[in-house]
Amino acid sequence: MPKLIAFRNFHYKEGKNNPKRLQQLVAPPYDVISKEEELELKSKDPNNICNIILPDSYTEAGKKLNQMIADGTLMCEEDRCICIYGIDYKHPETGQEISRYGFVGLLKLVEIFPANDGVIPHEATFRKYTEDRLNLIRETDANFSPIFMIYNGNGSADKIIQKYIKREPHLQTQDRDNFTHKIWEIWKEKDIKAIQKIVQNNPVIIADGHHRYITTLRHSRHGGCQYIMALFIDFNDPGLIIFTSHRQVHKMPVASLFELKQKSKHYFKIEKINNYKELKFKLEEYQQKHVFGCYFQGEFVLLTLKGEIKPEEIIMANKPDEWKQLDLPILHKILFEKCLKINKEDISYIKDAIKGMENVNLKKVDALFIVNPTKLEDVHKITKLGEIMPQKSTYFYPKPLSGLVIHKHTDKIE
């Protein structure tokens, strides 16, 4: 089963009790930073973590990290701790104010393809995306933001979390979206052991960070740390949100909405919708019926899989029926491939539907297909079967910052 240990939490000395100063030093996750934002973050402060996580030179990144530890820019206590990580934020669609809490520690690295020792992947990795992170960890031997794990703990950590969050946080700052990130450190051996037991008793799913996990695992085989810094969020936390990437089609192989309907009518019921607001309402109302929105040639339509269609009998893939009954295999295998003959190369992914519709209006893409968010129970169901979720099916939200808590491997850790 999964193993969790405490760690020496390196953090910015100047950021302690100074949220505005800390804001100048931390950064979003490396993979959501645009080139423009990267330059802006690096220019804010020579010690901004972006100078390490997106370096001009991997060797210089390692030297920079060691220098920041040596000169006291980054500090830690001698004893090891587990951290509580809280985020106060507004739901980007509803504006609802939400708080989400989890805990951060070091997760023992194990092989995950296939899953071992209760650590379960939910999506595939691609080697070209791991080389960059591997080069960075070889030079730094450090983790700059925790990978994102989920587990079904039925609220078993709530009592400990609630005890600590009544106190002043150890670290606090805001991100670019004005979300407030807070850190509390747990030093009591009794509480650390209680959290370790929760992890030990529950399989954990990698929600976000598969590429960093794989690169750290590869590094560990050559003398690097045997653990990776991870944030654990309970399935049952109401602050855990999953979004799904919508599909942009760059070249639609149909010339009109009428032709789209004709080619899809054997499998899908198609209904014209007046506007995006109405489409969103319909998508939510009929989410149990395999529904998809489409914005094409300035018009909205709702496509609903016909009730008599059995996707498990149509989708030709070496997958269990439960996988074939997910929305995304139905979208890709039946609508895109079977009905419309869309080439895979003509599909790209976007998280913001409004931006996707703008791209259609600007003729950057031909069409946008809007999908419902993946449900947590589907992730749980598919991973329990030992399967991988379809590509770009989950976007766990919100994400932890880079540089707020840092794990630097030393021989003392193990």
Q: Among residues 333, 337, 260, which one has the least CA distance to residue 299?
A: 260
Domain assignment of residue 388, yes or no? no
pLDDT at 414 over 60: no
pLDDT at 330 over 80: yes
Residue bearing the bigger pLDDT, 116 or 226: 226
> Burial, 341: exposed, middle or buried (Cβ in 10 Å; 0-12, 13-18, 19+)?
exposed
The answer to whether residues 182 and 47 belong to one domain is yes
Domain assignment of residue 381, yes or no? no
Q: Residue 168, SS3?
A: coil
Lowest average pLDDT, out of 87-91, 92-96, 109-113, 340-344, goes to 92-96
Report the number of distinct structural domains present in the chain: 2
- For all residues of the chain together, what is the average pLDDT? 93
The whole-number pLDDT of residue 128 equals 65
pLDDT at 187 over 80: yes
User: What does the pLDDT look like over 122-145, one tens digit per residue?
Assistant: 877 666 667 889 999 999 999 999
The answer to whether residues 115 and 145 belong to one domain is yes
The answer to whether residues 252 and 137 belong to one domain is no
Stretch 376-396: mean pLDDT: 87
Domain assignment of residue 214, yes or no? yes
The answer to whether residues 43 and 184 belong to one domain is yes
User: Which residue is associated with the tokens 């979206």?
Assistant: 177
pLDDT at 302 over 80: yes
Can you list the alpha helix ranges (DSSP code H) found in 209-344?
210-220, 257-264, 276-285, 311-314, 321-324, 327-329
Q: How many residues does the chain have?
A: 414
User: What does the pLDDT look like over 242-265, one tens digit per residue?
Assistant: 888 999 999 999 999 999 999 999
Q: Which secondary-structure segment (H or E) carries 39? A: helix 35-44
The answer to whether residues 204 and 272 belong to one domain is no
The answer to whether residues 301 and 158 belong to one domain is no
- Rounded CA gap, 148 and 189, in Å? 24
CATH number at residue 88: 3.90.1530.10
Q: Residue 229, SS3?
A: strand
Domain assignment of residue 221, yes or no? yes
Please, are residues 405 and 11 in contact by the beta-carbon 8 Å criterion? Answer: yes
The whole-number pLDDT of residue 244 equals 87
CATH number at residue 298: 3.30.1760
The answer to whether residues 269 and 230 belong to one domain is no
Share of the chain above pLDDT 70, in %: 98
Domain assignment of residue 81, yes or no? yes
Which range of residues forms the domain containing residue 204?
4-242+396-408
Out of 162-171, 206-215, 393-402, the most confident range is 162-171
Stretch 321-326: mean pLDDT: 96
Domain assignment of residue 68, yes or no? yes
Domain assignment of residue 203, yes or no? yes
Q: Among residues 67, 230, 229, which one has the least CA distance to residue 51?
A: 67
Domain assignment of residue 131, yes or no? yes
User: What does the pLDDT look like over 36-54, one tens digit per residue?
Assistant: 999 999 999 999 999 999 9
Stretch 214-232: mean pLDDT: 93
The answer to whether residues 56 and 193 belong to one domain is yes
The answer to whether residues 210 and 114 belong to one domain is yes
Question: With DSSP H G I counted as helix, E B as strand and the rest as coil, what are the percentages for the chain, rounded to 5?
Answer: 35, 25, 40
The whole-number pLDDT of residue 395 equals 87
pLDDT at 14 over 90: yes
The whole-number pLDDT of residue 125 equals 66
The answer to whether residues 62 and 175 belong to one domain is yes
The answer to whether residues 105 and 178 belong to one domain is yes
The answer to whether residues 202 and 251 belong to one domain is no
